[in-house]
Structure 1
Amino acid sequence: MLTKKLLEVKKYKSDINPRYREIQEYKDVAENVISAYKEECTREEINERITDLETHDTFKFVRGLSKLLERQSKFMQQSEFSPTELRETVFEHGYVTNKEERKNVLKEVAKKFNTNTEQVDQDLWADQEKNEVLISKPQTSAKELLKQYNLSLTQTLLFDALELKFNASENYQEIFGYMKYLGLMYSVNKELEVTVTGPAALFKKTRKYGTKIAKLLPTIMKAKKWGISAKVETEVSNETRVYEFSLDSNKEHLFPQKTTTQSFDSEVEKDFATRINSLTQNWKIKREPTILRTNNQVMIPDFSFKRKRKQKRERKQKRKKRHKNYDLFLEVIGFWTPKYLEKKLRKLQSIETEVPMLLAVNENLNCTKEDFEEQEHVFFYGKQIPVKPVIKHLNQIEEKIIKKDLKNLKNKDIKTPTEAKDIQELAKEQGVEPKAIEQYLKNNHSGIISNGIYLPKPVLKEIKTEIDSIKDPTLSDVNPILEKYGAGQEILQKIGYTIQYKTLNQNEAKITKKKQQ
């Protein structure tokens, strides 16, 4: 964060925005500021170099960059003798009125400390801040420095926010945990947008509270997708005005990149995530996926399960909304006290979502099924969370999806394919599950499904014609024909052929027509 004196903003009508610096455009300026920080130079020498880099247009910008670098630097007093002892000795000689008298005093002091006048002169005021020497310069690039500068501008602007609204695609546990740690006041609306009360909205505006809001910003920005908006109070010609400010992840190239790391509350949850991921290829599993509104509070489920669906692009948003109720949340209750359980149950009962919530409860806790009698989906676990109850629920959800997809397919006028078609592609075209399209084709169209390919009657007829054109065909003769249409060997019996094996050699496996009965 920077001081308000270094804040540069642009105002247009009711909008206010920090004056962000594009990375490529100002990279040279940042590199020059970084180069001013040379080890063995004093603060005063570095500040003189920074001043030389300032122009009428960039002096706040350059000073802001320098301030950020200064915080990353390490300065130290460097002197051979104690400046305090030197000054006490010098002052014992009384006042001096000219350079010659000063020189003589320094000579006397140098004799006493067994050194030279230059060393005395150098160490005399070495403990002043301006004379501290840079012993460790900042390790950053121009690109990183500019991104940090843009972030610091944004944080500084939020010092005077009446309120801050935000949304994020992930990282909820860390965000709300940090808000609690900072003591920030917030509310959540039905759209799950979080509003944090700003320092300017309090009875007494404090910089301390504004700093806390500014500290929250980098944590929000860790999410892949995020957005913030704020009402900012500022003075214009001695008049208080309120401006609108907004920012989202589309401009994340201007800010430091911080990625979230998946963390688990316990080894039990980590172990469960590993096992369930290997068994649910058709499901997207996410840790702490979203926030759920519970009255004026929020709840963050431990896991979410979302069915992976291949849909038509133009139907994506419609289908996404339509199938949101087929998601599943899993909440793990591995800790128990009467107060904790009471609070947890209140939250569960007031969750504003239609998505089913599955509860996994540690059987070693001092609670029973009766404690969860108002919860529809509960199971208990021992040393590890079993995957079987979860898989069971996921299968039930999948069956509902397929059942609904089949109903929708029946209401459509789907033309029978006249050529071999990939089931996955057909499902994608219709925006349904592959299993639903398979079942629909089996129930309503003549044809065969092999290796994930639907082979209609005309194609089967072509295959038979090509096989019949071969005199005394063997399995090795027929394989190229089957591969051409993406079919497997199992269709041969379905279309009227038998395979007579003498050995495992496919060149000796004869293909004959079944006898008509």
Structure 2
Amino acid sequence: MLTREHAIADIDFRRGTIHPDRLVRGVHRNYLAHAERMLRVYSRGAGETRRTLHRRIHDILADEPDCPTARIDAFCKLLDDASGYRKDSSGRAAKLRQQVFALASQYHPLVQEPDRFFEHGQWQVKQTIAKQLGRTWQEIDEALFADVFEFHRLESFTGYETPPALLSRYNVAQVQAALYDATRLTIWASDDFKTILRYAKLAHLMHRIQPFAGGGYVISLDGPASQLRATRKYGVNMAKFLPALIACSDWRMKAEIVTGRKAWQVRLELSSDDGLNSHLPPPDQFDSEVERAFAEKWGDEPRDGWLLVREGQILFDKQTVFVPDFSFRHESGLEVACEIVGFWTPEYLAAKSQTLTRFSRHPLLLVVNALVQEQLPTLQLPTVTYKSAIKISDVLQRLNEISATQA
């Protein structure tokens, strides 16, 4: 990710909005060729110092109109993030400098070309010092400042797959940088609930959830301290969460941001239709092949009035959230959550049992692998057992039994 120093954004104080820097095809069409050149600099730059590589990136973008230095530095940071540098943290470079400077002081002053007045030329002295230290001067030169950030030497570059991928990462990174000062993030989501909540948890963000008309949910994210006082501490966590959200579909978000010395309140709005691309892959639609096979067999049309929806609802109890694998929606309006339990560790089964017990007051159907059923604690829930594949007839029977009890 970028640092605050790399952040570029336009703020409309009258409307209370912030718009992070973004490269678009029409206005910034030259950047595609620039990105190709920048990737080439790093992919061919093994052994070069960080300072040399950064200078070459600056040279590529120096003549580009309306290209601020912060944008160039941002590209350097993103390229560095995909790089491995050789650095010295053992103190050997400092010791080597002491040795070299002590030996060189015997030949002071040094000149480019010796003459009648100054007899010690740089090249000859370097060779003499190298011989005394038992190394080539190239080896000494590469190690002399290996502990200085600008003189770290490039060892590897994993890079970005394509020039557009680098430009896409830049656009996302600028939005992330704007979120560093965010105090709250509100998401309206109609799909990929489990992925959104999983990554929110990984980012240590608290959440509050409410359903909204149309079958989606409003998910409010903030940090533990945000409810008690204004804080910017968790903006970085929101920034880390952003690529996961962008990889999802059918969402929009609003971030509340505090900016400037006067702590202006502005908002950042974004949606899945804005064209940002995440470096993370889209969420896998199914957690297992058993789920995939069952969903494909059931199909998109209702069976006996029951429509199958993947992760169609969120069950929540205070700060505990449960996203069942499927929801069955009946034409009568009844909705039954369905959780499939396959091959898992005993620890997972124990935790899963606690969750299912906590939400057992909701209409819930449990589908359990026969090999797992003996390890799963007894639960007072309607259950379907399967061996290799889930039988639709068994599921329909249980669903209709649940429907009869709800009537």
Residue identity matched to 2:385: Y
Of the candidates 251, 263, 288, which is equivalent to residue 311 of structure 2? 288
Secondary structure in structure 2 of the residue aligned to 1:98: coil
Distance 1:200 1:149, change over 3 A: farther
- Matching residue of 2:240: 215
Residue identity matched to 2:50: R
- Matching residue of 1:66: 76
Secondary structure in structure 2 of the residue aligned to 1:174: helix
Task: Tell me, in whole angstroms, the C-alpha distance in 2 between the residues paired with 1:68 and 1:388.
Answer: 54
Distance 1:293 1:226, change over 3 A: same
CA contact (8 A) 2:286 2:292 kept: no
Task: Tell me, in whole angstroms, the C-alpha distance in 2 between the residues paired with 1:297 and 1:85.
Answer: 56
Distance 1:112 1:240, change over 3 A: same
How many residues align structurally? 362
TM-score normalised by the chain length of structure 1: 0.60
- Matching residue of 1:348: 360
CA contact (8 A) 2:247 2:280 kept: yes
Q: What are the residue-to-residue correspondences of 1:303-452 with 2, within 5 Å?
A: 303-305=326-328, 323=331, 325=333, 328-332=336-340, 337=350, 341=353, 343-349=355-361, 351=362, 357-360=364-367, 363-364=373-374, 372=380, 378-381=382-385, 383=387, 385-392=390-397
- Matching residue of 1:319: none
Structure 1 unaligned residues grouped into runs of 5+: 308-322, 399-517
Residue identity matched to 1:46: L
Distance 1:227 1:367, change over 3 A: same
- Matching residue of 1:134: 154
Q: CA deviation at 1:66?
A: 1.7
RMSD: 3.7
Question: Does residue 176 of structure 1 match 2:181?
Answer: no
Residue identity matched to 2:249: K
Task: Tell me, in whole angstroms, the C-alpha distance in 1 between the residues paired with 2:210 and 2:298.
Answer: 36
Task: Tell me, in whole angstroms, the C-alpha distance in 1 between the residues paired with 2:296 and 2:277.
Answer: 35
Task: Tell me, in whole angstroms, the C-alpha distance in 2 between the residues paired with 1:36 and 1:66.
Answer: 11
Q: Which has the higher contact order (CA 8 A, sep 6+)?
A: 2
Of the candidates 26, 35, 38, which is equivalent to residue 30 of structure 1? 35
Question: Does residue 7 of structure 1 match 2:7?
Answer: yes
Task: Tell me, in whole angstroms, the C-alpha distance in 2 between the residues paired with 1:379 and 1:360.
Answer: 6
Structure with the higher helix share, 1 or 2: 1
Task: Tell me, in whole angstroms, the C-alpha distance in 1 between the residues paired with 2:136 and 2:86.
Answer: 23
Secondary structure in structure 1 of the residue aligned to 2:76: helix
- Matching residue of 2:128: 108
Q: CA deviation at 1:91?
A: 3.7
TM-score normalised by the chain length of structure 2: 0.74
Distance 1:306 1:189, change over 3 A: closer
Distance 1:122 1:303, change over 3 A: closer
CA contact (8 A) 1:16 1:243 kept: yes
Q: CA deviation at 1:135?
A: 3.8
Distance 1:260 1:324, change over 3 A: farther
Secondary structure in structure 1 of the residue aligned to 2:395: helix
Secondary structure in structure 2 of the residue aligned to 1:392: helix
CA contact (8 A) 1:44 1:131 kept: yes
Q: What are the residue-to-residue correspondences of 1:84-233 with 2, within 5 Å?
A: 86-93=96-103, 95=105, 97-100=108-111, 101=120, 103=122, 105-113=125-133, 124-125=144-145, 128-137=148-157, 138-191=159-212, 192-198=217-223, 201=226, 203=229, 205=231, 207=233, 209-233=234-258
- Matching residue of 1:300: 323
CA contact (8 A) 1:106 1:121 kept: no
Q: CA deviation at 1:99?
A: 1.7
Determine what percentage of the aligned residue pairs are the same residue. 24
Residue identity matched to 1:379: T
TM-superposition CA deviations, 1:406-449 (whole Å, max 9, x none): xxxxxxxxxxxxxxxxxxxxxxxxxxxxxxxxxxxxxxxxxxxx
Distance 1:293 1:116, change over 3 A: closer
Task: Tell me, in whole angstroms, the C-alpha distance in 1 between the residues paired with 2:341 and 2:232.
Answer: 39
TM-superposition CA deviations, 1:41-92 (whole Å, max 9, x none): 32222222223323664322221112101111233369xxx85665343344
Task: Tell me, in whole angstroms, the C-alpha distance in 2 between the residues paired with 1:121 and 1:260.
Answer: 48
Task: Tell me, in whole angstroms, the C-alpha distance in 1 between the residues paired with 2:108 and 2:225.
Answer: 55
TM-superposition CA deviations, 1:220-244 (whole Å, max 9, x none): 2222212111110111xx3111111
Secondary structure in structure 1 of the residue aligned to 2:103: coil
Task: Tell me, in whole angstroms, the C-alpha distance in 2 between the residues paired with 1:259 and 1:336.
Answer: 27
Secondary structure in structure 1 of the residue aligned to 2:264: strand
Deviates more, 1:272-281 or 1:141-150: 272-281
CA contact (8 A) 2:168 2:277 kept: yes
CA contact (8 A) 1:285 1:303 kept: yes
Q: CA deviation at 1:304?
A: 2.5
Task: Tell me, in whole angstroms, the C-alpha distance in 1 between the residues paired with 2:247 and 2:68.
Answer: 30
Q: CA deviation at 1:387?
A: 2.9
Q: Which has the larger radius of gyration?
A: 1
Task: Tell me, in whole angstroms, the C-alpha distance in 2 between the residues paired with 1:48 and 1:389.
Answer: 67
